[in-house]
Amino acid sequence: MSKQKSLDDYVGVSTRGTRGLGEGYAEQGGGFIQEDDYIVDLHLHSRYSRATSEFMNLQGITRNSKLKGLRLIGSGDALHPAWLKELKASLKHVGGELYEYEDVLVVPTAEVSTVFSDDAGVTHKVHHLLVFPAISSAEALAEKLGRYGDLASDGRPTLNVDPPTLVDEVQSVDPHIEVIPAHVWTPWFSLFGSNSGFNSVEECYADRSDLIHSLETGLSSDPEMNWMISRLDRFNLLSNSDAHSHHPWRLGREANVFTLKQADYEHLLDVLVRGEGLKLTLEVPPEFGKYHWTGHRSCGVSMPPEEALKRGNVCPVCGRRMTVGVEQRVYELADRPRGSKPNGKPPFIRVLPLHELIMATTSSNTYTSKRVRDIYQVLTAKYGNEYRVLLDAPISELEAFNPQLARLIKDMRSNRLRVEPGYDGVYGKLILGDTSFSPEAD
């Protein structure tokens, strides 16, 4: 029952994450991001989505995207009429069916929530990320999807339509619009979710499943966990932030590194459809996600899969059903042991937002404290952006500035961070000695 009982078994659970990235990475930094590489975050939202910051406008998003190190972002909410109008008025078309705002490349994207019942009367709720080749494609699809729900009510609209029909509608508008199942393991609103999902892509999308090429893994899972399921081998595994605020600790907290010979939609589609140019993904440790372990938030109870299964997923305090976590759900569908890696899969790197690490070393309890802000500004000014600090800055240089932070970044690069797993909507906590630090709520 105790969160601490099995915690040591999960410390360093992801030490295989940087396999193949080269010796000396922890000390010297990787130098992974080359001139043709783009750090990409395709999934975020505008201020027109519910529970988002009022500063999720183009200026706020792109300013902090540059600070983070993102070169290409999704617009988010491209089906919402007011946001679509802003995109048309403000984005500069730069050729190759991509757009630009303040030196950040933008591709039109949207997330939709489909709510529907299957033949047995079971209700399913699945989120999908849509990537568009042009604003005009988003406009045309909006005309089609308006019959299934109110597109103006939420930047992430709820549609009364099943996934195969959604794919059909997309294909009828433009076959180059890509449909990507979003945060596929989240207990609610996802493809494999324990509460309203399916056991396979084929069950969800039926005979349109061959038109699904990529899956978004979400914060509570990572590629290594998904590699435990052999029938997912054919899919490209993507990581995005699903940011609801413009802060750099939300934008790009998970991201992708794409090698694009040319920055256009054709080459972006090569990555999304065929995996060509998918160099690596940047992953928050999955234990940090809000649904990694099984648990019951109201009673403060969480536990690993084996213990939850022994208890029949029943809370030992109140007797109610616990929210089945992502790790347990992965184990339910797995046909390989953890640590398996299919041939040809790109590596991934574990990262935490720099603000999180600074907070831990300064014992600050807020991202916006002056001490945290000052350290962040000095480092990003010196190295160019946040990801350069996290991935490339030599530890010897960081030690000269802040020894404790340097040690923590080195531990992050070495996968030695200790994390108390998140559960039932509660973020995981970074453990330093006898003290734990958790992110502020979204």
pLDDT at 206 (0 to 100)? 98
Q: Which residue has the tokens 């540059």?
A: 66
Residue 154 has what pLDDT? 98
Assess if residue 299 is contained within a domain: no
Predicted local distance difference test score (pLDDT) of residue 439: 67
Residue 385 counted as domain residue: no
3-state secondary structure of 411: helix
Cα-trace Rg, the chain: 21
Flag whether 348 is in a domain: no
354 domain-assigned: no
Q: Is 296 within the bounds of a domain?
A: no
Whether residue 45 contacts residue 111, with contact meaning beta carbons closer than 8 Å, is answered with yes
Domain that holds residue 217: 31-287
The backbone torsions φ and ψ at residue 410, rounded to the nearest 5 degrees and listed phi first, read -65, -45
Residues of the chain under the 50 pLDDT cut:
1-23
Task: Give me the residue label for tokens 């600074």.
Answer: 358
CA-wise closest residue to 352 among 276, 278, 405, 295: 405
The answer to whether residue 391 sits within a structural domain is no
Q: Name every residue whose Cβ is closer than 8 Å to that of residue 6 and which is 6 or more positions away in sequence.
A: 303, 304, 307
Q: Is the CB of residue 321 less than 8 Å from the CB of residue 315?
A: yes
Q: What pLDDT score was predicted for residue 25?
A: 67
Cβ(277)–Cβ(40) below 8 Å: no
Q: How far is 374 from 368, CA to CA, in rounded Å? A: 10
Write out pLDDT tens, residues 104-135. 999 999 999 999 999 999 999 999 999 999 99
- Calculate the CA dihedral of residues 331, 213, 141, 145 and round it to 10 degrees: -30
Residues 51, 245: Cα–Cα separation, whole Å: 9
Identify the pLDDT of residue 435: 67
Residue 365 has a pLDDT of 84
pLDDT score at 287:
97
pLDDT at 321: 98
Residue 118: other Cβ atoms inside 10 A = 12
Residue 105 belongs to a domain: yes
Examine residue 16 and state whether it is found in any structural domain, yes or no.
Answer: no
User: Per-residue pLDDT tens for 95-110?
Assistant: 777 999 999 999 999 9
Q: Specify the 3-state DSSP secondary structure of 111.
A: strand
Give the H or E element holding residue 107.
Answer: strand 104-107
CATH of the domain at 77: 3.20.20.140
pLDDT tens sequence across 50-69: 999 999 999 999 999 999 99
Number of domains in the chain: 1
